[in-house]
Structures are given as structure tokens and as C-alpha cells.
Copies of this chain bind each other. A is one copy, B any other.
Amino acid sequence: MFSIGELSKRTKVKVPTIRYYEQMGLLAEAERTSGNQRRYDKTGLERLSFIRHARDLGFSIEAISSLIELQEHPDRSCEAATDIAVSQLADVREKIKRLKLLEKELSRISKGCDGQGVSEDCYVLASLADHELCSREH
């Protein structure tokens, strides 16, 4: 049995975040010492590692809640879990697509001031002011 600080160290999840996860129902309520401090064991550690990993992969708290529920009712859980993962993947791909367009636009804008420059006006500000100057959609 170890303290919340120890759990925090081992999982690299901050102490207030652990309490927040408990409050949100992602973590079961921890056992307490006689003095009301939380104590955890291997189960708690594994559960939190799962949550942390899923958060790192961009799953929302809500999605993680669903995944945890699936874990606890293992019948047919695989399909449903895969659905969640696939939808998360679609999300990530969409974000990548959008960010790549932004990258092109920003790199074009940033380069505007290099070299001989664009007379007296700032190209960055001009580009932001006038969407027509954009080379593509974003």
C-alpha cells in the first residue's frame, strides 16, 4: 500500500489530477488510512496507468469511462472498444490533415519577411488581415 504521492511518482500523473480522476469516477474511491489519507495498491496503479496511457493517446475522459466500463463487462467488449479506438484514430487523422494545411500557410507567411522583404508593410500582418492572400484553404 502506498500514498497518493508515491502513485503520482510511479505513474507521472500529478496528485491533484489523481484526485480529479477519482472525483470523475475514473478511479474507484481509494482506501483510506485512519487519518483519511488515500492508500493504493497494484490494482490502483494499473488502473491509473491505463488512464494515463489513454489520455496520452488523446482519448477523452468520457471515452476512457466507456473503455473502463467495457473492461468490467468483458462480453462483446472487443468490438465496442475497437470502435472507440477507430473513432479516436479518425479524429487524429483529421487533426493532422488540418494542421498540415496550417503548417503550409504559416510557413509561407513566416517567410514573407525574409530576404528583401515586402516593401514597408509587414507581410505577416497583411496575410492575417487578408484571407485572399492565402494560397489554399484552411
For A123, what are the chain B residues with a Cβ–Cβ distance below 8 Å? 78
Q: How far is the CB of A136 from chain B (nearest CB, A)?
A: 12
- Residues 54-91 of A, flagged 1 when their CB comes within 8 A of B and 0 if not, give 10111000000001001100100111011011101100
Is A122 interfacial (CB 8 A cutoff)?
A: yes
Residues of A in contact (CB 8 Å), total 46
CB of A96 closer than 8 Å to a CB of B:
yes
In the complex, per-residue mask of A96-138: 1 if CB is within 8 Å of any chain B CB, else 0: 1001101101110110110001000011110011010000001
Does A113 lie within 8 Å of B79, measured CB to CB? yes
Shortest Cβ distance from residue A89 to the other chain B in the assembled complex, whole angstroms? 4
B53-A113 in contact (CB<8A):
no
Beyond A70-B125, A78-B122, A99-B99, 4 additional contacts (C-beta under 8 Å) are A49-B129, A57-B105, A67-B125, A74-B122
